[in-house]
C-alpha cells in the first residue's frame, strides 16, 4: 500500500529542546490514531505535516509531495487545529464561506459546500450566529466543518473530540468513520485512549518525540497485559479484604499502605478483579472509601514501554 503521509528521519528542535526525534513513519489509507501524553510531540508532528513548521532534519511528504511552502498540497488536505480559536466577529456561515474562497470555487459552489458542511456537523440552524456566541461543542463542530468543507482526501485532526460532550463525541466519531468509509485518509491525535479506540484499531504511540509503538491496538494491549495492573483500595479493614483475595490466582501481589487503610493489588485480570471486588465488599460489609488505579493511564503504559 502506498503511503499517504510519509516522514523520513524527521527531527525538530525548539531551540535546545528536541520536539521530534528522528521519526520515520508511513501513514496509509483509513484512520490512524496518533496517541501520546501532553508534550509527547503529537502537535509538533501535526504541524510539520500541515506545513506550519519546517523540519530541521528529514522530510515529510503528502502523496509524495513536500509540504513546506507548497500550497498546492493543501487542496487535498483538511486540518482541524487543536486550539479553540476563530475569527470571532463572524458568523459560522461567514467563517466557512470566507475560508472556502481560498480554493478558487465559484460563489454558488462555495455556498453549496458551506451548506453541506454545516449540515454534516448539525449547525445549519446556528449558521447566522456569531462564533463568539457559540458553545464549546459548537465551536469544535464548526472547526471540523471548515476542515471538511472542501472535500479533502486527507483529514488531519488535532484533538478533535476535546471539549465535546459524550453525545457530541459519538456524533463526531460516526462522522469520522463515515469519511474513512468514503476512502479518505484520516489522522487523528489524542491523549485519551478510549477515544482513539472508538475510532480505529491502528495507532501510533508517541512519547518524548519518539515513536514507541505502532500497529493495531490489540498488539499494544498485549504489551500492557504483560505488565500487571495496580489497583489501590482504601477501606476500613484492608486486611480482611486481603484475606478474601489471597487465594485468587489472578492476583500477583498484595501490599498494604503505610496509612493502614490501603490495600494495593497487582493483577493481570483487572476486569475480573473489579467484578469480584464488588461482590466481596457487599458480602463482607466492608466500607470502601476509594478505589483507584495508580498505573491505569497512558503514562504508566509509556513508562513500561520505555523500561522505567
Partner 1 sequence: MATVREKGYSHWDGHLIARRFPWWPITRTGIQLAFRKKRFKIIFAGAFIPSFVFLVGLYVSERLEDFKTFLQGSDRLLNVGPKYFSIYFTNDSLLFLIVLVLAFGTGGLIADDLKHSSLQLYFSRPLSKKDYLIGKMSVIAFFVLILTALPGLVLIIFKLIFAGSFKFFLQYPWLPLSVLGYSALLTVFFGFYVLLLSSVSKNARYVLILIFGVYIFSNVLFGILQSIFRTPYMALFSVPANLQQAGAFLFGQKPPHAVPAVWSFAVLAAICALSALVLDRKIRSVEVIK
Partner 2 sequence: MTAVQAVRQVFGFFGFLSRRTGKTRVFAILGLIPVVLAVVVRIVLHGRSGPMAAVFTDILMVFFLQFYIVILALFYGTSITAEEVENRTLSYLITRPIPKPAIVLGKFAAYSVLMFAMVAVSLALSYFIMNAARLSDPELYLTFLRYLGVLGLGILAYAAFFTFLGTILKRAIIVGLVFGFGWENVIQYFPGSTQRFSIVHYLKSLLPYHPTVGGGGGRGVALLLFRLEPTKPLVAVLALTVVTVALLALACWIFGMKEYLYEE
Please give the residue ranges that form the binding site for partner 2 (CB under 8 A): 14, 50-54, 69, 71-75, 77, 79, 81, 83, 85-87, 89-90, 94, 98-99, 101-104, 146
Q: Which partner, partner 2, partner 1, none, binds residue 271 by CB below 5 to 8 Å per kind?
A: none
Nearest approach, Cβ of residue 291 and partner 1 (Å): 6
C-alpha cell at 28: 496509509
> How far apart, in Å, do the first and last CA atoms of the chain sit?
35
C-alpha grid cell for residue 100?
Answer: 472556502
Binding mask 98-137 for partner 1 (x = CB under 8 A): ----------------------------------xx----
Query: Could you tell me the three cell numbers for 224?
Result: 500492557
Q: Is 290 in the site for partner 1 (CB under 8 A)?
A: yes
Q: Could you give the CA distance from residue 195 to residue 203 in angstroms, rounded to a whole number?
A: 12
Contact partner at residue 225 from partner 2, partner 1, none, CB < 5 to 8 Å by partner kind: none
Dihedral of the CA atoms 198, 202, 208, 210 (nearest 10)? -170
CA Rg, the chain, in Å? Answer: 23
CB of 288 to partner 1, least distance (A): 5
In the complex with partner 2, which residue's Cβ is closer, 54 or 253? Answer: 54
In angstroms, what is the minimal distance from the CB of 236 to partner 1?
Answer: 9
307 binds, among partner 2, partner 1, none (CB under 5 to 8 A by kind): none
The closest alpha carbon to 276, from 240, 236, 241, 230, belongs to 241
Q: How far is the CB of 99 from partner 1 (least distance, A)?
A: 22
For residue 208, report the phi and psi dihedrals to the nearest 5 degrees.
50, 40
Residue 288's binding partner out of partner 2, partner 1, none, with CB under 5 to 8 Å set by partner kind? partner 1
Q: 206 exposed, middle or buried (CB, 10 Å; 0-12, 13-18, 19+)?
A: buried
Instruction: Indicate whether 297 belongs to the interface with partner 1 (CB under 8 A).
Output: no
* Residue 290 touches which of partner 1, partner 2, none (Cβ within 5-8 Å per kind): partner 1
CA neighbor of 223 nearest in space, from 120, 305, 157, 119:
305
The helix/strand/coil state of 176 is: helix
Binds 293: which of partner 2, partner 1, none (CB < 5-8 Å by kind) = partner 1
The candidate with the shortest Cα–Cα distance to 181, out of 200, 197, 195, is 200
Chain contacts with partner 1 (rule: CB under 8 A) = 132-133, 278, 281-282, 285-293
Amino acid at each position: 500500500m502506498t503511503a499517504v503521509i510519509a516522514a523520513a528521519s524527521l527531527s525538530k528542535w525548539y531551540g535546545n529542546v528536541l520536539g521530534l526525534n528522528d521519526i520515520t513513519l508511513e501513514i496509509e489509507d483509513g484512520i490512524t490514531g496518533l496517541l501520546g501524553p501532553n508534550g509527547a510531540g503529537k502537535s509538533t508532528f501535526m504541524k510539520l505535516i500541515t506545513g506550519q513548521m519546517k523540519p530541521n532534519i528529514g522530510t515529510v511528504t503528502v502523496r509524495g509531495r513536500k509540504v513546506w511552502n507548497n500550497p498546492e498540497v493543501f487542496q487535498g488536505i483538511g486540518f482541524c487545529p487543536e486550539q479553540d480559536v476563530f475569527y470571532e466577529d463572524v458568523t459560522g456561515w461567514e467563517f466557512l464561506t470566507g475560508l472556502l474562497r481560498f480554493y478558487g470555487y465559484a460563489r454558488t459552489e462555495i455556498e453549496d459546500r458551506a451548506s453541506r458542511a454545516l449540515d454534516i456537523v448539525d449547525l445549519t440552524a446556528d449558521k447566522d450566529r456569531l462564533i463568539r456566541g457559540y458553545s464549546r461543542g459548537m465551536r469544535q463542530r464548526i472547526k471540523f466543518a471548515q476542515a471538511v468543507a472542501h472535500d479533502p482526501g486527507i483529514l488531519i485532526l488535532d484533538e478533535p473530540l476535546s471539549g465535546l460532550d459524550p453525545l457530541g463525541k459519538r456524533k463526531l466519531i460516526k462522522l469520522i468513520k463515515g469519511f474513512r468509509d468514503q476512502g479518505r485518509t484520516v489522522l487523528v491525535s489524542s491523549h485519551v485512549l478510549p477515544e482513539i479506540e472508538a475510532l480505529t484499531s491502528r495507532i501510533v504511540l508517541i512519547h518524548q518525540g519518539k515513536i514507541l509503538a505502532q500497529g493495531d491496538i490489540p498488539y499494544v494491549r498485549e504489551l500492557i497485559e504483560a505488565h500487571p495492573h495496580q489497583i489501590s483500595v482504601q477501606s476500613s479493614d484492608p486486611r480482611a479484604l486481603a484475606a478474601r483475595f489471597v487465594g485468587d490466582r489472578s492476583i500477583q501481589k498484595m501490599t498494604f499502605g503505610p496509612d493502614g487503610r490501603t490495600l494495593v493489588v497487582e493483577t493481570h485480570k483487572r476486569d475480573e478483579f473489579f467484578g469480584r471486588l464488588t461482590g466481596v465488599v457487599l458480602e463482607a460489609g466492608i466500607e470502601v472509601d476509594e478505589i483507584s488505579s495508580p498505573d491505569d493511564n497512558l503514562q504508566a503504559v509509556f513508562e513500561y514501554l520505555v523500561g522505567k
